[in-house]
């Protein structure tokens, strides 16, 4: 009999660990640019903090997956937590002393992003061992709900603390990281380190996750269309709505309402997902999300009211969150255990690489054609993506779980399996009854801006 999630000690510890880390990260994500703006008075330098974070994430995401498959994952998570704690504590002390070298701020932003790139794949792999198959969707949904709640609450709390003293948001993040470190240290589940011959960051290792994804037509199509295309177009759509309903920057009420609805929709989707069982209906949910995005663009093109735009964005984000949970579950099921870290980081890389360009495209369309045509043209891009996901043969054939049916790929040389003598592990393998996967990439101290797009890899 499967133990309920509420009785799964290791899952509760990982859930709490992520809560402390993500909440602290959300507080500092607002406080860091505010600190730069306060110290320099330059909006350009303040905006550069986010650019540094995104760039660092994209550069280190694939190497982070390699590390997660090479090093024992619980140990790697502890190292990442301690590294984050040292960086944040140093920044807190500098702010408290009243002498903040501006070079320290982008270094802290980059360090946090790099650590998050390593931590995320490690959590992905460890959660696969912690959560059994029949609870995979529910566990992923609970992690998503936790992260979305932190995203709603964290910036508000961080802004309030910053108003009292600039060092307080970072001190609160340091406390959260300390608690996260303790929670990870108490986790009993272990993964096994995989010593392999050859360079750690060889071309083959770095591209192993992308090669695996490309070899499965369903994953390839969904990631390229739902991950890249929809992320790009929905980012343009939400930025256009933010700008258009803010009256050219004279009022933030309409645009703020739209963004609040986006966050509320994501949280609602995470809360509803356990009732819908998204892992069983991932394709239907992905198709429904794509066509809902098309409908949202069409409605916003003809009805210029923030309330209507907010409702449509909330509905879209609700569906996209549920669909993402289903796709994450499917991705975990079909990925061999020894490649989890690299596949997760590759999927995140594909879904994130176009994220910075969506708002840029939305702004260009809005400036050139005006709000109505910007929404309409974005809707056309969304419609193309929806058509591909609906009718492409590759998107209609879901792959089998790892170890069932046809093999998903040859075993990697140099990896010792649990059936070899002398190897003991604290995890259940994919061949044991009742084991499967389930996780969320934002379960740890990832510092990259999350955005408000229907991403297929986490929060």
The tens digit of pLDDT for each residue in 354-397 reads 777 787 788 888 888 888 898 999 999 899 989 998 998 888 77
pLDDT higher than threshold 50 for residue 216: yes
The tens digit of pLDDT for each residue in 275-307 reads 887 777 788 889 999 999 999 999 988 887 888
132 secondary structure, DSSP code: B
Q: What is the CA radius of gyration of the chain?
A: 21
The residue length of the chain stands at 459
Q: CA 431 to CA 412: how far, in whole Å?
A: 18
Helix (H, G, I), strand (E, B) or coil at 435: strand
pLDDT higher than threshold 90 for residue 179: yes
pLDDT higher than threshold 80 for residue 198: no
pLDDT tier at 431, thresholds 50, 70, 90: very low
Report pLDDT for 258: 80
Q: CA 405 to CA 418: how far, in whole Å?
A: 21
Q: CA 265 to CA 58: how far, in whole Å?
A: 27
Sequence-separated (6 or more) residues with CB below 8 Å from residue 231: 351, 352, 354, 355, 358, 451, 453, 454, 455
The tens digit of pLDDT for each residue in 306-321 reads 888 889 989 998 998 8
Tokens representing residue 126 in the block: 């460890």
Residue 410 CB coordination number (10 Å): 7
Report pLDDT for 200: 65
**What proportion of the chain, given as a percentage, has pLDDT over 70?**
81
400 secondary structure, DSSP code: P
The tens digit of pLDDT for each residue in 438-447 reads 333 333 333 3
Q: CA 437 to CA 420: how far, in whole Å?
A: 23
- The larger pLDDT score, comparing residue 137 to residue 71, is at 71
Asked if 427 contacts 129 with a C-beta cutoff of 8 angstroms, the reply is: yes
What is the phi/psi pair of residue 132, to 5°?
-75, 170
Query: Where do we find the tokens 């579950």?
Result: 329
Tell me the C-alpha to C-alpha distance, in Å, between residue 147 and each of 369, 440, 444. 36, 9, 10
């Amino acid at each position: 009999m499967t133990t309920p999630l509420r009785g799964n000690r290791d899952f509760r510890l990982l859930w709490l660990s992520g809560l402390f880390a993500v909440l602290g990260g959300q507080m500092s994500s607002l406080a860091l640019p505010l600190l730069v703006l306060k110290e320099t008075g330059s909006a350009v330098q303040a905006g550069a903090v986010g650019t540094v974070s995104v760039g660092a994430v994209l550069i280190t995401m694939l190497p982070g997956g390699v590390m997660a498959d090479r090093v024992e994952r619980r140990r790697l998570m502890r190292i990442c937590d301690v590294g984050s704690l040292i960086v944040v504590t140093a920044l807190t002390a500098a702010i408290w002393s009243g002498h903040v070298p501006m070079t320290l701020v982008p270094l802290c932003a980059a360090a946090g992003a790099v650590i998050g790139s390593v931590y995320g794949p490690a959590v992905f792999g460890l959660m696969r061992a912690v959560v059994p198959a029949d609870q995979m969707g529910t566990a992923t949904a609970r992690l998503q709900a936790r992260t979305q709640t932190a995203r709603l609450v964290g910036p508000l709390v961080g802004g309030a603390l910053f108003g009292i003293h600039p060092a307080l948001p970072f001190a609160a993040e340091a406390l959260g990281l300390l608690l996260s470190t303790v929670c990870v240290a108490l986790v009993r589940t272990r993964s096994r380190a995989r010593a392999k011959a050859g360079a750690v960051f060889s071309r083959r290792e770095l591209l192993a996750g992308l090669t695996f994804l490309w070899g499965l037509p369903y994953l390839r199509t969904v990631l390229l269309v739902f991950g890249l295309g929809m992320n790009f177009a929905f980012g343009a759509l939400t930025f256009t709505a933010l700008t258009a309903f803010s009256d050219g920057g004279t009022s933030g009420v309409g645009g703020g309402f739209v963004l609040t609805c986006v966050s509320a929709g994501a949280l609602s989707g995470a809360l509803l997902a356990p009732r819908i069982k998204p892992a069983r209906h991932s394709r239907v949910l992905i198709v429904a999300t794509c066509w809902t995005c098309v409908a949202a663009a069409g409605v916003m093109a003809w009805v210029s009211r923030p309330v209507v735009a907010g409702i449509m964005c909330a509905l879209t984000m609700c569906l996209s969150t549920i669909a993402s949970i289903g796709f994450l579950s499917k991705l975990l099921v079909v990925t061999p255990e020894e490649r989890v870290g690299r596949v997760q980081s590759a999927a995140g890389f594909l879904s994130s690489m176009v994220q910075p360009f969506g708002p840029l495209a939305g702004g260009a369309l809005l400036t050139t054609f005006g709000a109505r045509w910007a929404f309409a043209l974005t809707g056309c891009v969304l419609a193309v993506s929806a058509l591909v996901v609906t009718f492409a043969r590759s998107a209609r054939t879901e792959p089998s779980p790892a170890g069932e049916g046809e093999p998903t790929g040859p075993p990697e040389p140099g990896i010792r399996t649990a059936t070899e003598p002398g190897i003991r592990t604290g995890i259940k393998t994919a061949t044991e009854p009742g084991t499967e996967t389930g996780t969320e990439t934002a379960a740890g101290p990832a510092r990259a801006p999350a955005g408000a797009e229907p991403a297929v890899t986490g929060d």
